Amino acid sequence: MDNLAAAGLILASASPRRRTLLESVGLRPTVMAADIDETVPNTEPPVAALRRLAEAKADAVYVQAVAANTSHRALLAADTGVLVDGRLLGKPSDAADAARMLRALRGRTHHVVTAVCLIAIERNERLVTHESTALRFRRYSDSLIAGYAASDEPKDKAGAYAIQGVGALLCEAMFGSWSNVVGLPVERLPDWFRTVGLELEAFLVDL
């Protein structure tokens, strides 16, 4: 079972956080990062954009996997965004951009949405869905913003914070999945796999 499980899942994402989350629940994905255009037009609704990007990543890697005659049985892609005032906050371009995002989130409730595309490779049966978590941030000081924005932690993080690090101190309350904020709501995986005709248990390498 271990050999089958270890070759079972492709993660179509270069995110080390998603890989760590999957490994934390007994999965050992093969990482195949997708190379797609992630531009989001201003007119595109944020959640629709995240779902489109997740499916585009999955499609790009699915084509590669099938062409390589893969023995993997499932493929998972995801895209996470921070929504505030109906706008999608991406990853900060620099410390000044991170500070701008942190000011926009201060003392307010925002949502972190992770869109997921899961494909059962042999049948090309797929699920496109999303999970949302609400977070209420504290009224933190300008000096905290400046110090945190200048640190390494906000880099490559949607919304310019890491809930699994010092960024947790920015949050006053959370409503929903913690792992969703990190990048993948792992507690939803059993249901999602079952939806595409697969049992997650068969992919666990430590059972």
Which residues have a catalytic role annotated? 79
Count the Cβ atoms, other than its own, within 10 Å of residue 124: 11
Instruction: Return d(Cα 81, Cα 103) in angstroms, integer.
Output: 17
Residue 105 main-chain phi, psi, to 5 deg? -90, -15
| CA-CA-CA-CA dihedral for 21, 24, 29, 35, to nearest 10 | 20
Instruction: Return d(Cα 101, Cα 93) in angstroms, integer.
Output: 11
Beta bridge partners of 127: 118
CB 4 within 8 A of CB 72: no
User: How far is the CA of 83 from the CAs of 1, 80, 114, 133, in angstroms?
Assistant: 41, 10, 11, 10
Instruction: Return d(Cα 170, Cα 172) in angstroms, integer.
Output: 7
